[in-house]
A and B are shown apart, each in its own frame.
Chain A
């Protein structure tokens, strides 16, 4: 194991922020509390929401599968404690939109009875093939616990690429958040074991752990856990936000830039969070599905900030009560850190797989919303951007809604880290503009797809109507033509009889004279005129019949 000899590359940009971490690392991780109800959203990950496989009224045990994955990019959901399913309905979930989503609500019985799993934990995971490992990880419902929530089993598939390096992201660069730090201090051996399991699943040649240099205890703990394993390098990177950004960390450790529109896998690198590694270890060695995670409860609104091992689905309310946070004093609650988190309006929303921190700010620390001035093009934002973008240009175009130009300047490479926002002298909410531009562009793309489909369907419908008209016309013509033809009378006596009848009717019509009216009291002149006309008519008819 080599440590400080390893070269560290300095990613450009970034900010030195006040850490606020020591306030929550003075006590060990607290044990989980069992709330009275658990609210488990069906979508706690990137991809399709899971589908419930239990019904209202069912009794469930801790670790029981309650929703199955829907499709390839999805993850199952398990009950975090034993109890009864009391509802499957829309409830508030932690999301910046403050929208509600489908959740399974469980009323806990307090006994926390664990289900007997079908598969047993394996200490010797080497006996499993990598696809078996991935299947177990999938079945355990493990997703990226660093905040993104991408189903981990997919990210553990080499998929034809040769994985040179598996990186464990132990940076935790955002202020206030310390859950990964405490995990590493207290569970280092399990994390390292999880790393080795992931290495096997990926057939990765080599492992590296990137940790910020402010985490001294964690670093020591990991070093001890690694021991003499030469396959794993632990490297300290300078503490600077956002050192924990996936691409930034990859660059720091390897000097390579992951392709901007591709995945790091394309350059043979895969990156996972330490919490995910621990969950993988628990899933494989103890057959425990993902039902809990460590959450940092911190901020000026929490009397004693700490890290708690929380059961998934625990409403934020319960956590606040547990920490004796005075709801009258609470100014703002954020899920996540101060840079990339979002505000939570409804405290009934639960802790989910991707909740790493609940940041509560006291009322007295809430600052007035700032009015922003026009951009003075100072370029400070571009100086701190870790992705080398030009935020001032992105801002101009996002603001004037010129979405073509905004994409020209690589809007979708923005990781929304917020560095540009913090340094802007005009106090422009830059990240908000970029988020607005991104979601509007996605909506426009969806609209375009829909309208293209509608156009196609409309054209097909017009074609169908044309076709039907044409066919009708042809049928009509065919019928007409068939009727016009003289049939062979020998062959069809019925037809011949009809034709003869029709002929008679025709003749009768032509011979039948029109009975003139007003024939009384005719003068002799009139009568002679009538006689002459009669004679002419008879003559004409004779001629006609004769011809």
Chain B
């Protein structure tokens, strides 16, 4: 019986936030489709359907309002991010399994949006990576590098027909190539100009991949300018990654990947602006977000350089998710009027 005040018209809403993040993904996704084929769109579609269906079932089981909760768009966003993170030529059951796992174990089990400690998309990704390393590490080559441009039929076959024709479209990713070569004792500089791997590398990073990363960077800047994400996380993460990789690159450029490759290769841009900034699982105090971003940057660099996986972002994000509450606790802002004067 008490009307709540303030009564000021406000346009803030969760679904609006998710929508704008969706808009920001368009440049990167468009580049993806243009350079690597329609596979990624199929994965996105599969993921979205799985996400909505899974969340709807769980909400019904939990006796929560289904339409209202689905309308906030967070499940769809998780689905899209996971679809962008995995290889577009992975079989269909990979994305379905991953998305279902992300929604159930990464989100709904904890109580739905706002209650999950881990980034659901990254949780799904890590589960897939550990359980199905083969399917998860088979990546396509940019169309420009293939002998023939694959047809639409090929894309469908690869995904739905048990990987039929996958060899015609796949290739190593730049980071992957460097790692395997280093393990065999070949220097990076040699890999960059080698006949088998040299052509993978463009001016910034991998051919094709660099444009996709640029696309995500553009989207990220859009989100920053419209105030949809906290600037501290991507800034801290990219700066840390850049600084660390620069230091090591200066020490020995034959053993350590260049900063540009770190920043524009792999999922750095996607991760910095879209994955690490997931508000629910990230740190929430302004200072805390800086430490959180720094932590992700450090861990990504460490895992990429010395770890067993070529891409360390997912693990880095999950590890920092665990640290987020502690970071928040120790970075509480000084309350107005309580400065240590």
Contact = CB atoms under 8 A, between A and B. Distances in A.
A259 interface: yes
A17 B7 CA distance: 12
A341 B4 CA distance: 10
A533 interface: no
Given A373-B113, A374-B114, A376-B14, A247 B6 contact: no
Interface in B289-341: 289, 332-339, 341
Contacts of A343: 2-3, 5
Interface in B1-51: 2-10, 12-14, 16-17
A260 B336 contact: yes
A426 B8 CA distance: 15
Given A374-B113, A418-B8, A421-B6, A382 B286 contact: yes
B6 A257 contact: no
Contact of A390 (B2, B68, B230, B333): B333
Nearest to B10: A422
A422 B284 contact: no
A380 to B, nearest CB: 7
Q: How large is the interface on B (under 10, 10 to 19, 20 to 34, 35 or more residues)?
A: 35 or more
Nearest to B68: A371
A513 B189 CA distance: 136
A334 B282 CA distance: 39
B223 to A, nearest CB: 12
Given A343-B5, A390-B285, A379 B230 contact: yes
Given A373-B114, A386-B336, A429 B10 contact: no
A378 B17 contact: yes
B13 A413 contact: no
Given A425-B17, A426-B114, A341 B12 contact: no
B12 A260 contact: no
B227 to A, nearest CB: 8
B245 to A, nearest CB: 29
A379 B279 contact: yes
Given A388-B334, A390-B285, A423 B6 contact: no
B280 interface: yes
B160 interface: no
B292 to A, nearest CB: 12
A503 to B, nearest CB: 87
Contacts of B280: 376-377
Given A374-B113, A377-B114, A410-B335, A425 B5 contact: no
A377 B279 contact: yes
Contacts of A17: 8
Contact of A247 (B7, B289, B337): B337
Interface string A103-115: 0000000000000
A235 to B, nearest CB: 20
Interface string B121-153: 000000000000000000000000000000000
A257 B337 contact: yes
Interface string B63-88: 00000100010100000000000000
Main secondary structure of the interface of B (DSSP, over half): loop
Contacts of A339: 5-6, 8
Contacts of A225: none
Interface in A8-31: 11-12, 17
Contacts of A383: 286
Contacts of A392: 284
A91 interface: no
B341 to A, nearest CB: 8
Given A332-B3, A374-B115, A382-B286, A413 B8 contact: no
A228 B14 CA distance: 54
Contact of A389 (B4, B284, B335, B341): B335
Given A339-B5, A340-B6, A376-B14, A259 B230 contact: no
A380 B230 CA distance: 9
Interface string A316-350: 00000000000000001010001111110000000
A343 B9 CA distance: 16
Contacts of B112: 374
B173 to A, nearest CB: 33
Contact of A387 (B12, B14, B335): B335
B335 to A, nearest CB: 5
A277 B60 CA distance: 61
B4 A260 contact: no
Given A338-B6, A374-B112, A388-B336, A424 B284 contact: no
A431 B12 contact: no
Interface string A500-521: 0000000000000000000000
Residue with the highest number of chain B CB atoms closer than 10 Å, among A11, A382, A422:
A422
A96 interface: yes
B284 A377 contact: yes
A383 B16 CA distance: 19
A340 B5 contact: yes
Interface string A420-449: 011111110101100000000000000000
A258 interface: yes
A379 B113 contact: no
Interface string B266-297: 00000000000001101011100100000000
Contacts of B279: 376-379
A369 B4 CA distance: 9
B54 to A, nearest CB: 18
Given A334-B5, A431-B6, A432-B4, A259 B284 contact: no
Given A260-B337, A390-B284, A392-B284, A424 B5 contact: no
B8 A260 contact: no
B17 A418 contact: no
B13 to A, nearest CB: 5
Interface string A380-419: 1011001111101000000000000000011001000010
A166 B282 CA distance: 44
Given A426-B114, A427-B13, A338 B335 contact: no
Contacts of A389: 333, 335
A367 interface: yes
A121 interface: no
A259 B111 CA distance: 40
Contacts of B72: 373
A339 B5 CA distance: 6
A379 B285 contact: yes
A334 B16 contact: no
A382 B284 CA distance: 9
A388 B286 CA distance: 11
A155 B336 CA distance: 22
B4 A375 contact: no
Contacts of A426: 14, 114
A175 B111 CA distance: 38
B225 to A, nearest CB: 16
Contacts of A258: 337
B289 to A, nearest CB: 8
Contacts of A341: 5
Contact of A260 (B17, B111, B115, B335): B335
Residue with the highest number of chain A CB atoms closer than 10 Å, among B7, B10, B336:
B336
A257 B341 CA distance: 10
29 contacts: A257-B337, A257-B339, A259-B337, A261-B337, A340-B5, A340-B6, A343-B5, A367-B9, A376-B280, A377-B284, A379-B285, A379-B286, A379-B289, A380-B12, A382-B333, A383-B286, A388-B334, A388-B335, A390-B284, A392-B284, A413-B335, A413-B336, A418-B6, A422-B8, A423-B10, A425-B16, A427-B10, A427-B13, A429-B4
Interface of B: 2-10, 12-14, 16-17, 68, 72, 74, 111-115, 230, 279-280, 282, 284-286, 289, 332-339, 341
Q: Which 5 A-B pairs have the closest CB atoms?
A: A260-B337, A374-B114, A418-B6, A429-B4, A378-B279
Given A17-B8, A374-B112, A376-B280, 11 more contacts: A11-B336, A12-B336, A257-B338, A260-B335, A338-B8, A342-B5, A377-B284, A383-B286, A410-B338, A424-B12, A429-B4
